[in-house]
Amino acid sequence: MDIHEEIDRSFGAGPEPGPVDALVADGRRALRRRRATTGAAALAIVLVAGGTTWAATGPGPHARGDDPSVASGASPSPTASPEPGDHGPATYGKDGTLVLRDGVTIVRRVDNPMDLEPPARSVALVLDDRGKTVWMLLESDPGGGFSIIDDDRGPEPTFARWLAVVVRENQQDTSTMAAEPEPAAYTGDGKLVLRDGVTIIRQVDNPMNLAPPKKSLGLVLDDHGKKIWMLLESDPDGGFSARDDAGRTYPTFDLWLADQVAIQQGTPMLALVAFGDGETLVPDEDGVELLEQRPSPQMPPHFASPRDRTAVAAVRWQGSLWFVLARQLPGSPPQYFPTESSVADGATTLDGFLEFARGRYSSGDGLR
């Protein structure tokens, strides 16, 4: 069985998605994987989005059949969930039923792209999340599962190709995917554990304002002399972690943590500016002084196509020089990437910032 051909055939002659919209590394997408865990070591299996590493956990040991085949039988119909948790627009319930967040509808569906044997199951989805196109791959089995979500289209020009890539990556033997455990993690019973040699510099309790038994934690860590920023969540049904090198995307931990919380909760993130008419930008935060701006900055094609709405601005905010790269892709809301001068290798001009940003996107890192 050629999984690439099977996936392509599953769509028939439906309309093609739009052009390449964004790198997988872009931080404005939420890329998450859930893996079953019996302790902190399970967080060794992670996925890296740009420089930020995302991991998520499920409730038990994860296993797959040694000789999977296509699962047969009807797929459970999705149900709306008034309280889907923080696991994205779609998830598998404990009974294996597909659950959609309120306001989410299925545009396309591919059953069992992972070629699993029952009772394990998988599904790939193109979703409309209140007007925003989302691509997902989900797996469920009695011991756990995982999900991968892109809320902007990745580097593949079609959903079928994106799906083929993520299926291939996740059908690898887990021994080839494993790395050392995360610097910090919640165990299955909600206890915080640290990897050997890691110490806590600063701790912010419950930045996501979760109600028990759920909990969240923001951490500044010293990992053998390297400073790490983390956001952790634990709940009885799973959890996630986000990790970044200190200062890679934001000048302060507080700004980084607020951004990560906003990503997980779907609330507005720091933007500083907003699109006005056409490709002009206007201040969108108290105290923002607009210094200079340009329409249609020439960026690598993974960031946006020449026909997409893009702009860049230099602003002063809270006494510091910031640059904001902005884009609006077809069928998606505007996205803004504020970057403080010190994060942008000390750039002091738009030309200097654009050189830095082009390098980040060309390398696959992106600005988030």
What crossing angle do the helices spanning 3-10 and 159-170 adopt, rounded to 10°? 140
All residues at 6 or more sequence positions from 129 whose CB lies less than 8 Å from its CB, including other chains: 89, 101, 103, 104, 151
Q: 141 or 220, which is more confident?
A: 220
Other Cβ atoms closer than 10 A to 173: 8
Q: Are strands 98-101 and 79-81 parallel, antiparallel or unpaired?
A: parallel
User: For residue 231, which of 201, 264, 199, 198 has the smallest C-alpha distance?
Assistant: 264
All residues at 6 or more sequence positions from 250 whose CB lies less than 8 Å from its CB, including other chains: 256, 259, 340, 343
CA 286, chain centre distance (Å): 28
Instruction: Report the pLDDT value the prediction gives residue 86, as an integer from 0 to 100.
Output: 46
pLDDT band at 236 (very low <50, low <70, confident <90, very high): confident
Cβ(143)–Cβ(63) under 8 Å?
A: yes
User: For residue 318, which of 352, 282, 283 has the smallest C-alpha distance?
Assistant: 283
pLDDT band at 78 (very low <50, low <70, confident <90, very high): low
> How many residues comprise the chain?
368
Q: Are strands 238-245 and 52-58 parallel, antiparallel or unpaired?
A: antiparallel
Global pTM exceeds 0.75:
no
Which one-letter amino acid corresponds to residue 237?
D
* Structure confidence by residue, pLDDT tens digits, 90-131: 888 777 788 888 888 888 888 888 888 888 888 888 888 877
d(CA 29, CA 59): 25
Cβ(332)–Cβ(130) under 8 Å?
A: no
**Residue linked to tokens 């990560």:** 260
> Which tokens belong to 353?
């910032």
pLDDT at 50 over 90: no
> Which tokens belong to 25?
């590394």
| DSSP count for the chain of H helices, then E strands | 5, 22
> Which tokens belong to 249?
């995307």
Cβ(159)–Cβ(10) under 8 Å?
A: no
Q: Read off the DSSP letter of residue 116.
A: P
Domain map (residue ranges) of the chain: 3-177, 184-265, 273-363
| pLDDT (mean) for 50-63 | 40
Question: What mean pLDDT value characterizes the chain?
Answer: 75
pLDDT at 320 over 80: yes
User: For residue 178, which of 72, 46, 280 has the smallest C-alpha distance?
Assistant: 46
CA 180, chain centre distance (Å): 21
Q: Are strands 98-101 and 104-111 parallel, antiparallel or unpaired?
A: unpaired
pLDDT at 271 over 80: yes
* Structure confidence by residue, pLDDT tens digits, 35-44: 222 233 333 3
CA 228, chain centre distance (Å): 18
CA 239, chain centre distance (Å): 14
